[in-house]
Every structure is written in C-alpha cells, then in structure tokens.
Amino acid sequence: MRPFSYITVGKILKTLKDEGISISRATFYSMEKDGLFMTRKAARGWRVFTPDEAKIIIQLVKENYGIK
C-alpha cells in the first residue's frame, strides 16, 4: 500500500481485516450510503479520513456487525 498523509478506505478495510472483519469496498460504500458514517472527499474524489475519523468508522463498523 502506498503511504499517504491521510487514511484511505483501503487502509480502513485492511485494519478491519487484520481484526477479523472482512468486508468489501461495496459493503463499506453501502454502509456510508445508509448513513452509518459520513465521509469527505479529496480533490480527486478519494474518500479521506483523519486517524480519529478512521477509529470512529472502524468502531461503527464493528458495532454494526455486533462486535465490541
């Protein structure tokens, strides 16, 4: 994975997978669309997150799957 100064969807998905929760990008985007969390996009349309935002999203996904 390329290093960035921000957290990307790929990094969040990798973190979740390392913690035993494997979801696809489509599932991630579906959760976003359903309002589980909000994202912002960089100039080229990439979804980018601060480390704190990424932690919150990871926690929300875990809660959505019934994992605490």
pLDDT greater at residue 32 or residue 4: 32
pLDDT greater at residue 30 or residue 1: 30
Q: What is the DSSP letter of 5?
A: S
Tell whether 43 is covered by a domain: yes
Tell whether 40 is covered by a domain: yes
Tell whether 1 is covered by a domain: no
Q: What is the pLDDT of residues 6-62, one digit of tens each?
A: 899 999 999 999 999 999 999 999 999 999 998 888 888 889 999 999 999 999 999
Tell whether 2 is covered by a domain: no
CA dihedral 26, 27, 31, 32 (to 10 degrees): -30
Burial degree of 53 (CB within 10 A; 0-12, 13-18, 19+): middle
Distance CA(4)–CA(26), nearest Å, equals: 22
pLDDT at 4 over 80: no
| Two tokens, residue 37 | 């969390």
Tell whether 27 is covered by a domain: yes
Tell whether 42 is covered by a domain: yes
Tell whether 26 is covered by a domain: yes
Task: Write down the pTM of the prediction.
Answer: 0.86
Range of the domain at 39: 7-64
In the chain, the number of structural domains is 1
